[in-house]
Amino acid sequence: MLTNIWETILFITGELGYWGVLMTLIIEGMGLPFPGDAVLAFYGFLASDYRFTLLAVILVATVGSWLGSIVAFYLGKRFGLPLLYRYGKFLLISERSIEVTSRFSGKYGVLVLLFGRMLPGIRTLSSYIAGIGNLSWPVFLIYSFAGLWLFCTFWISVGFFLGENWNTFVLIIKEYLVRILIGVILLGGSLLLWRKTSFMTRGR
């Protein structure tokens, strides 16, 4: 399956250039089964080989992911959690992933849209869960774009600076990145809780 995905990506990118980047990242943003981080690193490698401009490919990839996330957010708002439980298995989404992402979103809110984009599984579902949780459109659009900008910039930069070695380092980076980001999310959530508690204490 992954071989077929890569062949499709290579064909679309080779034929359509930036339009191909936009199309593949819309798929990624919708949460469909897709190796988003590896694809972005590959696009970064193409930029290092002067087939793309670095800033342009980051912007196009971010907009594509953002458009896909908007579709996912709307579906979550419109159809709710039963949509994921009923059709998630066809997209290789497990019930455990749905439950974990729901807990993260309930606990850390919009931080999941910022930093959770870097975490496999959570990234796939975060837009759906935000819609299911009835997050407002303006808040979603802003935080989703910011999170996807970070996500696309990071992985495209990895491919750009590592060049031909991008594929070797993707798995290594992912292994440690997950641990680091979980720590960042926990720290961010703790700081927000501390600020909220301090404000309530001063208000008494």
DSSP output for 20-62 = HHHHHHHHHHTT-S--HHHHHHHHHHHHHTTSS-HHHHHHHHH
pLDDT of residue 80 exceeding 80, the answer is yes
Closest CA to 173 of 119, 97, 101, 112: 119
Confidence (pTM): 0.81
pLDDT at residue number 67: 97
What is the mean predicted confidence (pLDDT) over 67-94? 87
Backbone phi, psi, residue 133, to 5°? -80, 5
pLDDT of residue 2 exceeding 60, the answer is no
State the Cα–Cα distance between residues 160 and 14, nearest whole angstrom. 18
State the Cα–Cα distance between residues 131 and 155, nearest whole angstrom. 26
pLDDT at residue number 183: 62
pLDDT of residue 118 exceeding 90, the answer is no
Q: What is the average pLDDT value for the chain, to the nearest integer? A: 83
pLDDT of residue 75 exceeding 90, the answer is yes
pLDDT at residue number 199: 53
Closest CA to 93 of 105, 81, 104, 103: 81
